[in-house]
Amino acid sequence: MSDLLKIKLTIANRVYPLSVAPEQEESLRASAKKIETTILQLEKNYAVRDKQDVLAMCALQYAAQLEQLKATETPQNDDDHEKVKVKELIDMIEVHLAAY
């Protein structure tokens, strides 16, 4: 627990203090920066009344991207996982048969 870093991220003009593992810091800072960039683009392209509207649009955009990514990667990952498991089983059988 003592190896956690205390960082502050600013999103939509609010500061969020966080305690994070050192290996998470870079990705969290990059994520906050990406959110800020998206917020600016949305504010520029749409007539929004407040930050909550922009944050909701931003969240929806990222959630949709995540769902699309999951939809395209899942079958391939499942196939790869199944192939690895079958290969492991074949290898175990061959090792067992070779022992006799």
What letters, b where the CB count within 10 A reaches 16 and e where it falls short, cover 43-80?
Answer: eeeeebeeeeebbebbeeeeeeeeeeeeeeeeeeeeee
pLDDT tens-digit profile of 22-45?
999 999 999 999 999 999 999 999
- By residue range, what is the domain housing residue 73? 5-98
pLDDT at 22: 93
DSSP codes of every residue in 11-40 = ETTEEEEEEE-HHHHHHHHHHHHHHHHHHH
pTM above 0.85, yes or no: no
In the chain, the number of structural domains is 1
Please report, rounded to a whole number, the percentage of residues in the chain having pLDDT higher than 90.
57
